[in-house]
Structure 1
Amino acid sequence: MVLLLNLLFVSLNTAVSALFLCLLALIKLILPFTAAQRAITRISNGVMWVWATLNHKMLNLTSSVEWDVQGGESLSKEGWYLLICNHLSWTDIVVVFSVFRNRIPMAKFFLKQELLYVPFLGVACWAVDMPFMKRYSRQYLLKHPHKRGRDLATTRKSCERFRQTPTTVVNFVEGTRFTPEKHRQTCSPFTHLLAPKTGGIAYTLGAMGDQFDAIINVTVAYPENRVLPFKALLSGKMKKIVVRIDSLPVDAQVTGDYFNDKAFKRDFQQWLYQHWQEKDSELSAIYGEGVHQYIDSSRESNAA
């Protein structure tokens, strides 16, 4: 019953919010003036805040969740941030919006250019200034070398509007959700994490590095509900959510030419792997045991 109630509420809340955002996008097209578009962006961010707040309150109402959040005291809603996070479940997105909605500007996710043309979704994301990026494959660039660098230039142009409006860009560095199968198939060197993909975060820093005040390194864990956290949250069975927040500087160590400077690329990879090793140790301390118990529990759940 709780699962159906939460699904209905979240779906309705999302549909209504998307409708408002589409209407704002229409106004944004009609009034392509800088002042008007800034005002629409602020209103759109307000709609996102209401959406996130209502979801947070509803899920707290139907679940007795213990929120264990540490760090992030120096953050501000007037800043510009890149937020990186481990990724275990769709619940991570709910957690990011819930924890940070009153701490930093509303979260924005880099989206593939193709999503812009998805009905309703693309328009709604455009209304809230989600940055769209156009990536060319290595094979395509070998055939069309004159296109090299165009994807980064397109992303920089997409991010120009952020210079006037405080923004948080979110990047799930592992590129996909953690599962025991992916952990095994990729031979991850970590216990609780997949290996981070350095290209995505380097791409984001290359496009917007000079705008960020800090990199927010977030660790999310669900100690009692690791196997199916999203279902547990919607079913009212989520017991505890742990969030650890660490602010990292945006300096020369992370803002070089990743795609053309081999020495910087190597140093950047080492920098990110070091932080991932620290995150893995932090998760071991939170969970109090290795990945094997989680793997066994996951197999039992899937068999059931």
Structure 2
Amino acid sequence: MRVFYFVLIALVVCISTVLHVTPLLLLALLKALLPSPRLRAACNPLLSGLAESWVGVNNWMWNHLTDTRLAMTGDASLRMDGHYLVLANHQSWVDILVLQRAFNRRIPLLRFFLKRQLFWVPMLGLAWWALDFPFMGRYTPKQIARNPDLAKRDIAATRRACEKFRAIPVSIMNFVEGTRFTAEKHAKQTSPYRHLLKPKSGGVAFVLDAMGQGLHAILDVTIAYPTGRPALLDLLMNKLPEVQVMVRQREIPQEFIGCDYQNDREFRVHFQRWMNQLWQEKDADMDRLLKLAET
């Protein structure tokens, strides 16, 4: 029976992807050819609507073809016309589907910072490009040490993306740990958190700097899997019984706007302390979510 559901879901995903991505790419081409900035801007809601429809089909399958329960708690006031920076912990590829399930058509379309290699994913890579998802180099510290200009490339890409996002309702998504949690990575980092890797503050600081007053809130999302960190196949084969999600809405500290994270050491230390405090609270939230699921 699980194999049947997996085949059915895979088939519907493939058909839905073709039916949504094909007109999306045609609309993106039309947008690129239009001479007027006003006409090009008019295409943005249509592009986002196609993406939200595709996510909606995925969510329908979640609701009707799996028994996975999504339990949400929190204090966020969500708006479709908002400008959000969404921060979350990262454990699995399932996280992306969880976020889409939780927020689709409740806040503007989630836009992720993607590894540049993902541009070559069939159909989806072009769709992400058409929707102005930023593609980043994601260079290692060793690569940056050998060539410091590499870090500047990602900063410039962040600024270009944020300039586009200023004019539209947007939800900029950042997995702050920079990689998926594993016990091996946790041990290698000697992470001070029980359930999390250390946060990487630079990307968050650059978005806040580039967007300025364009963002009105942070959505701090904590995702917990009571039965353990799942693979994507676990969801597709109906082996994931429950997901716990907590959403906290946080104000953006005004002292962080317009500061230079890269060159101002005092500000960088201050910002990192703020991120570490946020991550301590997230670690405690993870504890509460996992204990809540046990009761």
Q: Same fold (TM over 0.5)?
A: yes
Distance (whole Å) between structure 1 residues aligned to residue 146 and residue 248 of structure 2: 38
Q: Indicate the SS of the match to 1:156.
A: helix
Sort the Cα spacing of 1:204 and 1:112 in 2 relative to 1 into closer, same or farther, 3 A. Answer: farther
Sort the Cα spacing of 1:215 and 1:138 in 2 relative to 1 into closer, same or farther, 3 A. Answer: farther
1:109 aligns with 2:104: no
Q: What is the TM-score normalised by the length of structure 2? A: 0.87
- Per the alignment, residue 238 of structure 2 pairs with 236
Distance (whole Å) between structure 2 residues aligned to residue 173 and residue 148 of structure 1: 17
CA drift of 1:31 comes to 1.2
Per-residue CA shift, 1:35-91, capped at 9, x if unaligned? Answer: 222222111100111111110111211222322111254221111111000011111
| Pairing partner for 1:70 from 53, 70, 73 | 73
Q: Indicate the SS of the match to 1:245.
A: strand
Kept in 2, the 8 Å contact 1:85–1:220? The answer is yes
Q: Displaced runs of 4+ in structure 1, greater than 6 A?
A: none
- Per the alignment, residue 99 of structure 2 pairs with 96
Per-residue CA shift, 1:227-277, capped at 9, x if unaligned? Answer: 325222111232211111111111234332211111111111111111111
| Pairing partner for 2:201 from 198, 221, 240 | 198
Distance (whole Å) between structure 1 residues aligned to residue 175 and residue 146 of structure 2: 25
CA drift of 1:116 comes to 5.3
Distance (whole Å) between structure 2 residues aligned to residue 67 and residue 112 of structure 1: 28
1:210 aligns with 2:213: yes
List aligned pairs for 1:253-264, cutoff 5 A: 253-255=255-257, 256-264=259-267
Distance (whole Å) between structure 2 residues aligned to residue 285 and residue 25 of structure 1: 44
- Per the alignment, residue 189 of structure 1 pairs with 192
Q: Indicate the SS of the match to 2:254.
A: coil
Sort the Cα spacing of 1:11 and 1:176 in 2 relative to 1 into closer, same or farther, 3 A. Answer: farther
Distance (whole Å) between structure 2 residues aligned to residue 163 and residue 12 of structure 1: 33
Q: Indicate the SS of the match to 1:280.
A: helix
- Per the alignment, residue 157 of structure 1 pairs with 160
Unmatched segments (≥5 aa) in structure 2: none
Unmatched segments (≥5 aa) in structure 1: 290-304
Seq. identity, %:
40
RMSD of aligned alpha carbons: 2.4
Matched length: 284
Sort the Cα spacing of 1:193 and 1:3 in 2 relative to 1 into closer, same or farther, 3 A. Answer: same
Kept in 1, the 8 Å contact 2:86–2:171? The answer is yes
List aligned pairs for 1:1-304, cutoff 5 A: 1-112=4-115, 120-133=123-136, 137-141=144-148, 151-224=154-227, 226-255=228-257, 256-288=259-291
Aligned partner of 2:195: which letter?
H
Distance (whole Å) between structure 2 residues aligned to residue 73 and residue 203 of structure 1: 24
CA drift of 1:193 comes to 0.8
Kept in 2, the 8 Å contact 1:111–1:131? The answer is yes
Q: Indicate the SS of the match to 2:53.
A: helix
CA drift of 1:24 comes to 1.5
Between 65-74 and 178-187, report the one with greater CA deviation.
Answer: 65-74
